Amino acid sequence: MRHTLKSLYAFISLLLLSVVATSQHTMEINAQLIPDERAIHLNHTITITNTSSDAWNDVYLTDWAHSFSSKTTPLAKRFSESFDKKFHLAPDSDRGFTKMTSIAGQGTILQYTRPQKHPDIVKVLLHEPLLPGASVRMTLDYTVVLPDVKFTDYGITKNGDYNLRYWFVTPAVYNNGWEYYSNKNLNDRYFPQTDIRLQFSIPRGYQLVTDLEQNDISSSHIQGERLTVLTGKSRTDAKIFLLKNSNYEEVQTDYVTIVSNLHDYRIPSPLRALISDRIAGHLHKNLGQYPFDKILVTDLDYKEQPVYGLNQLPSFISPFPDGFQYEIKLLKTTINNYVNNTLLVNPRTDRWLIDGIKVYMLQNYMDTYYPDLKVVGSLKKYWLVRQFYASELEFNDQFNILSTHISRLNLDQPLDTPYDELIKYNKNIGTSYKSGVGLNYLNDYIGDNKLDGIIKNFYQKYKSLPLRSSQFEKEVNAQINKDVDWFFKDYITSNKRLDYALKNSKVKGDSIYVDVKKKERRSSPISIYSFKNDSLTSKRWVSGTQKVETLAYSKEEADRFVLNYENIIPENNLRNNYEKPNAFLSVDKPVQLKFLQDFENPAKNQLFVMPVAQFNIYDGFIPGVKLYNKTLLTKALNFKIEPQIGLKSKKLIGSASISYRHDYQNQGLYALRYGISGNRFSYAPDLLFTRVTPFVNMSFRTSNLRSNKRQSASARFVSVQRQEDPLVALPTPNYDVLNLRYTRSNPGIIHTLNVTGDLQFAKNFGKVSGNIFYRRLFLNNRQLNVRLFGGVFTYNNTQADGNFFSFALDRPTDYLFDYNYYGRSEDSGLFSQQIIIAEGGFKSQLDDVAPVFANDWMFTANASTTLWKYFYAYGDVGVVKNKKANGRLVYDSGIQVSLLDDYFELYFPLYSNLGWEVGQPNYDQKIRFQLQISFDTVIRLFSRKWY
């Protein structure tokens, strides 16, 4: 009886969903393209049906074309958060907007407003409440001025083509309240199912590409134009491309017509058709019938969500089978659009399921048609490539590796995190891969590939119906008899790490006992495999609900144990998954020495060797080798040894370090790192320095991982020993400094604010210093940079050392050897003109007219502002105070050329305490340069957009 009632309830629920779906909205649009005005004029009739049980006093519309209207919209702010200046610096003519003329309905002109924080949303005030089941017909008259494609790839191209998406107004979704949000360049507009009829008048000479049905093409009443009538039933998106020369082709498969401009013309047309048919057939078999006749697959779709990996290599060095790169691009993009257009969840707040199904289908396809393909493809045939663990990885292993990468960085976010709160890496890679890997994990736990059937039934049942991901949980629970709360209540909603270890194996009589220890807080099942003479003998599942679980095996069936042997489960650490009873010296994994960096091989203790090179003018070119343990995935313990030789100095130099990092999830203190480092290089001709530094560093951040706000507190003990020139004695060749530092930073392209405080204590001096840096990019594109520095000696008995430990006005002596000086002891020549913006931060060298060091205190201010593009006017002012002397006012000014802010800049002095510097002798020697380019710098410039 209970089963009958449950089935009846499910049937009634599905029937109600179907009724709601058929009571959808309709839109009739008359649109005219006006190329001279970069605009489209629309007369737009929307019929909105109240499918809820609430009366509506207003209706919300989505007008994402207006998100380009100013530099302060949520879209503009999103660009700046991503360190992308192009929208802010673009001329107004390149940005678009919507000019709303009128909205009429209910027999009158309706009033409308735009919510304060959502300028691309329109709130329409109804003249009379709209009751449940009733409809309102509204007619909108408006003009959309289109943006340049350089911002989002949609808009007007350089050659006058039009890529149209989100270009007309649509109803928002009502689900126990209006669900609306602004455009943030996430391509995630929530558009309720709507029947669309669009009459589009366009100039002759354009070809129109879309997946809507083109029912009629005729002459327009406007001379020189033609009228195209487009229709679509139950649509949630409507992309249209107006092209002077179309490169799209249609491939009619047995299941759906694929309209695509993803081309590789080296692949014969019959083979492209075969690939298209295979992809469509795979999706039809594993999901179900696509409800529309055509599916549009574009290069812009693929650019938005590519398959990250070696398949992105240029085609001329592709290690994959002929046509594979074309196939994987077409596959990934077709899957994305197949699912996006049919599973109707809120893509901003509830998208983990559709992203997971996409990756799960992609992995399923690869297992079906390329089961033996390695991530390095055919490169494995080369001996050198086979030396890398990467050559052993299956193509699908990359999904687990790339999702684990972000967990190792302590930047993992729960799968139910709103889409606009994800950091770029998680938005583009981490979350979708983690979702797909999670479904694969769930499938392995359920067994017998039952999840394949569950997903297919779910798709067929709910396609083209409004749904929530929680309904998938109900479907899974209804079809299996295992407890999967660990997946839906923990894996989806938490970023807690998953890590188990094998410990304490013991042989007792004819039995072997091994402990499975839970290392992290997450309680998820883990698989354990037993081997005998390298042959698999069993696979078990451990629930993970206990801190330690002890398993017993017969000696006849096992002599080695491995957790998560097939690497299906997304563990944070795989290195502790191996246990061999009675291993020699308890070493159950051999040491492996490898050339260059590699992926982490959890079955080996890896060491890597890599060539390195540096340069300074005293040692010259500095080749060497680096012995280290860091893999392509971050790990807690890292060490490196870098012996090098200076080809000019003929001296053995180099560096070494070891450090350990503790990560703390979901806390203000997110990382604690400590260790010791040392280095030895030349600081002057034929003179070496040696620095040894034990350190501890604490890093803090806010709970919003997208925020660039960071804080750090560090303590280090710097011990320096310097060789002495027999002809020039050093009063203090060796010294030790305790350095305490606090940094608070919030970088960005619109606002930057960095604050640093520094304390130093040594035998002969103590000093306190701090600086504040502020950068602001105004709406008129003028940039202002201001830096304030202040430093005071608390005690100073270093007079015998001259100014070696003093505050410097324009070129710090760098007695802690922190800065990347190419010639740190130079007082003439090109390398003496290198500047590092620290301490006083002056650009002019005022040695002849003013003190440039301070052994008492110093306060300076540096400022610059935009003149034109990369050219700035700068000015510095300060007071330098030495003992037994009055404070001296110093100043300079000039032109700054900023080719890359803070990293590569040139300074041309104009006027200072020296007078008018341009007319003075040897002006070329007064020009200063800042150059902070290194491999780490490049990585930071790249990673700041992703992490």
Asked if residue 492 lies in contact with residue 352, where contact means CB atoms within 8 angstroms, the answer is yes
Q: How far apart are the C-alpha atoms of 819 and 838, rounded to whole Å?
A: 9
Amino acid at 736: D
Residue 751's H or E segment, with its range, is strand 751-762
H-type alpha helices, 84-135: 86-89
pLDDT at residue 9 in the model: 39
327-343 per-position pLDDT tens digit: 999 999 999 999 999 99
User: What does the pLDDT read at residue 939?
Assistant: 66
Q: Please answer whether residues 57 and 88 qualify as being in contact, where contact means their C-beta atoms are separated by less than 8 angstroms.
A: no
Q: What is the pLDDT of residue 588?
A: 67
pLDDT at 933: 64
Backbone angles phi, psi at 620, to 5 degrees: 75, -145
Contact between 531 and 540 under an 8 Å Cβ cutoff? The reply is no
| First-to-last C-alpha distance (Å) of the chain | 54
User: What is the β-pairing status of strands 548-554 and 560-563?
Assistant: unpaired
What does the pLDDT read at residue 509? 87
Contact 547, 526 (CB under 8 A): no
- pLDDT, residue 19, reads 42
Read out DSSP for 373-422? -BTTGGGGGSHHHHTSGGGG-BTTHHHHHHHHHHHHTT----TTS-GGGS
Helix axes 352-369, 431-446, angle to 10 degrees: 70
Three-state DSSP class for 579? strand
Q: Provide the mean pLDDT of the chain.
A: 91
Residue 329: strand, helix, or coil: helix
Eight-class DSSP state of 87? H
Query: 696 pairs with which residues across the strands?
Result: 674, 715
**Spatial distance between the Cα atoms of 199 and 226, rounded to a whole number of angstroms:** 10
Distance CA 787, CA 769 (A): 13
Q: What is d(CA 759, CA 847) in angstroms, rounded to the nearest whole number?
A: 27
CA distance linking residue 389 with residue 296, whole number of Å? 39
pLDDT at 320: 82
Specify the residue for token string 């990585």. 939
Fill in the DSSP letter of residue 189: -
Three-state SS string over 625-659 comes to: EEEECCCCCCCCEEEEEEEEECCCCCCEEEEEEEE
pLDDT at site 944: 75
233: left (phi over 0), alpha (psi -120 to 50) or beta: beta
pTM of the model: 0.90
H helical segments located in 83-203: 86-89
The set of residues, in sequence order, having a beta carbon less than 8 Å from that of 939 and lying 6+ positions away, is none
Tokens representing residue 940 in the block: 């930071």
In sequence order, the β-bridge partners of residue 46 are 27, 138
Listed as own residue / partner, the contacts of 384-388 with beta carbons closer than 8 Å and 24 or more positions apart are 387/594, 387/595, 388/594, 388/596, 388/598, 388/599
Residues of the chain with pLDDT under 70: 1-23, 216, 220, 309-317, 583-588, 933-942
From 361, 211, 366, select the one nearest 291 (Cα to Cα): 211
Question: What residue ranges in 734-817 does DSSP mark as E strands?
Answer: 734-746, 751-762, 765-777, 783-796, 807-808
Q: Which of 515, 529, 522, 517 is nearest to 568 (CA)?
A: 529
